[in-house]
Amino acid sequence: MIEDLISYIKASLSVTRIYPQKAPLDTVLPCLVWYLDGVQRFQSHSGTSDLKDSDFQLDVWAKDQQSATVLMRELITLLEDFTGTMGTTRVDWTTITGEDTAFDGATKLYNHSVFITFSHH
């Protein structure tokens, strides 16, 4: 799921700098940082199902608020209510469960976060 999601975002948006958990120091901005917050696996009467819900946090970092907001809107438009195939992953549905914005005073960077759940096989 993770590799398919990152490949899908890179192929669909202008952002190519996508990092797990933390961007390298001196990264060219804007960039996207992702976190896998958890995976729920489902059981059926016949045992473990291949259906999973994966919860992600996707953070856009930029030098100005407008750049962060524009890129996050593009990301939300791409992923909200997505159904279909990402690489080898079949996505049944997606849902945005929350958003947040922040300014990091230490780095002087703007951040826009989205929390999204993918139900997939």
Q: What is the CATH number of the domain that holds 45?
A: 3.30.2000.10
Straight-line distance from the first to the last Cα atom of the chain, in angstroms, rounded to the nearest whole number: 9
Distance of alpha carbon 52 from alpha carbon 45, whole angstroms: 16
Q: What is the pTM of this model?
A: 0.90
Q: Is the pLDDT of residue 101 over 90?
A: yes
16 is written with which tokens?
């190519």
Q: What are 68-84's pLDDT values in tens digits?
A: 999 999 999 999 999 99
Which one-letter DSSP state was computed for residue 61? E
Q: Is-contact 42 120, C-beta < 8 A? A: no
Instruction: Work out the mean pLDDT of the chain and round it to a whole number.
Output: 94
Amino acid at 54: S
| Tally of structural domains, the chain | 1
Distance of alpha carbon 105 from alpha carbon 102, whole angstroms: 9
Residue 36 is part of which domain span? 2-120
